[in-house]
Structure 1
């Protein structure tokens, strides 16, 4: 607003200013070109990323994306700008990295605030599974109380086996387990597991004497021999110990062992805590005893806390006698021995502090007042104020 000398005013308005203190918000970021799900593995070298971002305050001004071997890394592709209307970006890399690939999106709003986010990564698998460390082995079982020896199997209706060595980061979805032997050849698919060691078993078999071989998906095999008369059985079945099966076993063990574990824990705690409880009880009793002693000490330390003041003492009077009389009128029967300090004792202390007085020390004992003078061994019992005149006491300055 401007005002001239004549009082005329002119008002001018600026454009509106919008304040945005927050960065853009990402609704999702996925590996792959789908807005519905995120992928973990692929065979192609075409790396894609899908995302959704919004900024309701000032709007999205710019977006760019990068590729690396860890979150926020740009070692495979530096930040490359893309249109803000796009929600999918892709590029082709030249070679297959050993590690996972992470895509990162960075967006800036009109207020200059930036937000960055990375995907959880994907792995490119365009080669067969590595089998250098893979093994599969049979778990020999017997129908009698005697265990099977070596690779000889003593059960015609059931075969247990285990395998391990596949890399869990190679995205195994399932295994194909095959059993081949005398008049026997079939396969079953087993759902992939994240466990390092996997277990399964064929049940409901009817095996003849001879050699049998269980193979893994890559045809690694384990042989066994079966001897004995044939045994009729049902069609074969396969039993799998998947992750959720193992978890159910663990949960069942937790429930069955809960009470026993609680008993053991309570016994251990009781053994450790009971001595502490006993010590605490002892300390509480000791504290209570000390508090009682403190109360008694405070009570008896206040026996000399009654102060009678503003009494005038005439030459022929004694403040101790007056205090005794006052106590009697109050219903208390006291003797001079319980009076610790009086006006006469005060005058003795006053003389002790006077450098011109020969009094060196003064004290009370059993209701009597004593002074010690400069004369060696000279101790005098003071009965009245007149006894103090010779040491410099002035009756006209007695305490009121």
Structure 2
């Protein structure tokens, strides 16, 4: 007999009167092969999953066929290796295609990789088995305990910006680090709120190897404070606690007031007290860069001295000499405003 051929059974009977009858069976298909198991999938849908967050139940699907003798029944089991049933023992199912949700109550499966094994029998007793590629059970979200988010402002001038400020109102650059998960980060989500963006949806902003963003063509309000929040999503789609960094947008340079706010008080021995209190107005903190020279814009006497104060004492200066004072105010967004004036020591 060859596989796939048909055989017949013929029975001949004769009685005492020498009368004979012959009966032949329906064709019998010769099946010498095991069933075909097309797929064993982890998860409740038609798509296989590699990670799951449910430690109370496990889902599997399979599809099998036997074109010769048909599927008699199948058995399924759950184990820590393909082919094993050390987590859930074998259970019989009469279906060649089936979806099963099995109870995992009382079984410690956190962090374990579970394999679903299906064994099917055809109607001549032959069998075959196939296992899924496994699903890892993860019930804890990523950790953000040491995570940090940094908004990376790039100054539009030669002066640096202070932390938490930027002058750009149409772009955001940021980076983050420190989100951790023992099974790996799948991707990150970001959300921007503040100003006219009172509510904003979370959007995907990076992968496991991409921990930065560069958003262009955004609209940010001047003198508004924004919050950039980042959270991590692991392989089981569990979401970490969000980490937030605030920053303020300032697009205007400091405003200068009347020169009457720039004063000089001379003392003996060529000493002068300079004051520019109230000379500059800004919505953010200011620091100052002060130079003194013997020509306009010069710095041959004192060059680019930085201070957070609105005044300083300078000495020694030579009498009967014009000195050119340059005071530059720089706001937190790195935008400068410069005022020049002549001071004269008699």
TM-score normalized with structure 2 length: 0.50
Give yes or no for contact 1:151–1:225 (8 Å, CA) kept in 2. yes
Matched residue SS, 2:200: strand
Aligned to 2:100: 89
Q: What is the total number of aligned residue pairs between the two structures?
A: 223
Give yes or no for contact 1:125–1:170 (8 Å, CA) kept in 2. no
Give yes or no for contact 2:188–2:207 (8 Å, CA) kept in 1. no
Of structures 1 and 2, the larger Rg is shown by 1
Aligned to 1:26: 37
Distance 1:136 1:72, change over 3 A: farther
From 108, 117, 130, give the equivalent of 2:143: 130
From 197, 200, 208, give the equivalent of 2:222: 208
Give yes or no for contact 1:102–1:122 (8 Å, CA) kept in 2. yes
Give yes or no for contact 1:41–1:122 (8 Å, CA) kept in 2. yes
Aligned to 2:243: 220
Distance 1:169 1:125, change over 3 A: same
From 153, 156, 174, give the equivalent of 1:140: 153
Give yes or no for contact 2:189–2:206 (8 Å, CA) kept in 1. no
Give yes or no for contact 1:41–1:171 (8 Å, CA) kept in 2. no
Displacement after TM superposition at 1:172 (Å): 5.6
Bigger RCO of structures 1 and 2 (CA < 8 A, at least 6 apart): 2
Q: Does 2:129 correspond to 1:116?
A: yes
Aligned to 1:229: 252
Aligned to 2:67: 56
Q: Does 2:174 correspond to 1:161?
A: yes
Matched residue SS, 2:208: coil
Give yes or no for contact 2:227–2:244 (8 Å, CA) kept in 1. yes
TM-score normalized with structure 1 length: 0.44
Aligned to 1:177: 191
Q: Does 2:86 correspond to 1:80?
A: no
Q: Structure 2 CA distance, aligned partners of 1:67 and 1:138?
A: 47
Displacement after TM superposition at 1:229 (Å): 1.5
Displacement after TM superposition at 1:54 (Å): 0.3
Displacement after TM superposition at 1:92 (Å): 0.8
Q: Structure 2 CA distance, aligned partners of 1:72 and 1:148?
A: 62
Q: Which runs of 5+ in 1 are unaligned?
A: 1-11, 231-400
Distance 1:17 1:205, change over 3 A: closer
Displacement after TM superposition at 1:52 (Å): 1.4
Aligned to 2:119: 106
Give yes or no for contact 1:69–1:75 (8 Å, CA) kept in 2. yes
- Cα deviations across residues 85-121 of structure 1 (Å, max 9, x unaligned)? 6612221103442134332211133455432222233
Give yes or no for contact 1:41–1:123 (8 Å, CA) kept in 2. yes
Displacement after TM superposition at 1:68 (Å): 2.7
- Cα deviations across residues 44-73 of structure 1 (Å, max 9, x unaligned)? 622121211001123323421111344444
The structure in which a higher percent of residues are helix is 1
Distance 1:114 1:219, change over 3 A: same
Q: How does 1:1-400 map to 2 (within 5 A)?
A: 19-34=30-45, 36-39=46-49, 41-43=52-54, 45-84=56-95, 87-93=98-104, 94=106, 95-132=108-145, 134-144=147-157, 148=161, 151-164=164-177, 165=179, 167=181, 175-180=189-194, 185-191=198-204, 194-203=207-216, 204-209=218-223, 212-217=226-231, 218-229=241-252
Give yes or no for contact 1:69–1:99 (8 Å, CA) kept in 2. yes
Aligned to 1:317: none
